[in-house]
Structure 1
């Protein structure tokens, strides 16, 4: 993702193999805006635009936080995540395009491609 007020710092790239003992933060998304509502909208768009395949990410979790009514009202502190374990109860729906790509990669790999 990119655009005004959106910055992505990443240590991975297409084809990169994540070693078994890795820093779990492979990329960092930073978003800013002049007001809270603009920030929330920009952050949600940036998370929607983030494309990461092949590894589990915290994108759905952060999306749940952004959608939380309490968070949107600005009622949070450093204990917010601990106080809201229900935010981890989300389901990840893979887009058909992503599933098709994963199946194609598995078939190609099984045939030596």
Structure 2
């Protein structure tokens, strides 16, 4: 599992039939500049910090071993202790979760 931040929704109208159930999101891995596309079966919004799995776990998490996912979001992070931050604050969303 890895931590990502949701950047936004990816719209692809021409896609294979197996992708019709879940939204696709653009996510950025924490500490990296690279963006990836993730399947969203949990209902994320831009700015959310999320946990995602890859490889065969991503297909299982999306609902089927035949589902064509290489990255699937499995949870929205509410809070985590992050000793790597230099400002002394914890990471993760707190106030905006009340809007869900």
User: Does the pair score TM above 0.5?
Assistant: no
Q: Which structure has the higher relative contact order (CA within 8 Å, separation 6+)?
A: 2
Greater strand content: 2
Q: TM-score range by the shorter chain?
A: under 0.3
Alignment TM-score, normalising by the size of structure 1: 0.24
